[in-house]
Amino acid sequence: MTAPVPPTVRWGRAYFALQSVAGLLWWILVPVSPLVRHITLGSLDPALVALFDLPLFVVAAGLAAAGSRVAALVNTAWTLLVTVLMALYATVTTEAGWGVVAMAAAALGSLLALSLVWLGRIPFEWVTRGPLAFRPADRRRTTAGHVGWTFTQLVVVWGLFLGVFPLIIRALEDRWKVGLGLPEGAAVVGWTVFVLASLLGICSAVVMSSQGRGTPLPSVMPNELVIAGPYRWVRNPMAVAGVAQAASVGLILGSWLVVVYAVGGALLWNVGIRPLEERDLEARFGDPYRRYRESVRCWIPRWPVASGSAGRPSREG
């Protein structure tokens, strides 16, 4: 008797089925629509691309949907390769930018679906290994040392994720000619949100490092459960601040791709990293953290809990 297919595997196969149908429809449109051909392939020869893409993308996705794990691997490898090659082509020629965007989305979907098909889950815990593994900070470090190290982290992390990466995305958006244009006044809204979110992030970081005896970095986490400052209203004020900052940078730069980058980061953190972090917090702090989690929401602020009602003052969870 054949063993039942786990729901997660069915979800992975369903994605490959959708990808196969979408790829086939796109190849039907390419020869009949000059616009579709131009924005997704540029000057590339459709016949030459189809020679490889139809079997390795469309057919392989269909076979993966039917249950072939090898086909899922072939499809994912091909999708990643095409995404990289298309990105290089679009960057050099300024053609086929929308093809890059479509293939990047397909590559991400293929990677996630491949994990579901092969592993039955998405191994988010791999992100928290090595230098990013959850470890409490050194208790011997002074409060000033924790605060100083926290601000060093903020400079590096904000510089990369709110500066370098968004500027690269914006430059590629221009180069690939996939800009959509944001409403007038978006930059003003962006700057307002950015300032407010930055203040929230700084305040949260100071509370976390000064009262929690640690930093926001997973490998140097606070040693104390802290419910004070912004943590009285929301469990994840630094995550809220970070997402709002990234989205506001997108508004400031006039880049819809940067806004998508912010939303994608929020989804990754909420679905993949947050459960792992909360499991670690529950293991280390027990009932006080469980009471705190039950009384304070993760993303949406709530009237602050009474002092001491959820345990000692914590890092976000």
**What contacts 240, CB < 8 A, 6 or more positions away?**
197, 200, 234, 299
Angle between helices 34-41 and 97-119 (to 10 degrees): 70
What pLDDT sits at residue 2? Answer: 63
What pLDDT sits at residue 139? Answer: 81
Reduce the DSSP state of residue 38 to 3 states and report it: helix
List per-residue pLDDT tens for the chain, 317 residues long: 567 888 999 999 999 999 999 999 999 999 999 999 999 999 999 999 999 999 999 999 999 999 999 999 999 999 999 999 999 999 999 999 999 999 999 999 999 999 999 999 999 888 877 777 888 888 888 888 888 988 998 999 999 999 999 999 999 999 999 999 888 899 999 999 999 999 999 999 999 988 888 888 777 888 888 889 999 999 999 999 999 999 999 999 999 999 999 999 999 999 998 999 899 899 989 999 999 999 999 888 876 554 444 444 344 44
Question: What's the farthest any 2 CA atoms get from each other in the chain?
Answer: 69
| Position 248, amino acid | S
The residue among 300, 304, 307, 225 whose CA lies nearest residue 270 is 300
Classify the phi-psi angles of 311: left when phi > 0, otherwise alpha if psi is within -120 to 50, otherwise beta.
Answer: left
| pTM > 0.85: yes or no | yes
What pLDDT sits at residue 313? Answer: 37
Render 49-82 in DSSP notation, one character per residue: HHHHHIIIIIIHHHHHHTT-HHHHHHHHHHHHHH
Long-range pairs, 143-148, Cβ under 8 A, ≥24: 143/209, 143/210, 143/213, 146/209, 146/210, 146/212, 146/213, 146/214, 146/215, 147/206, 147/209, 147/210
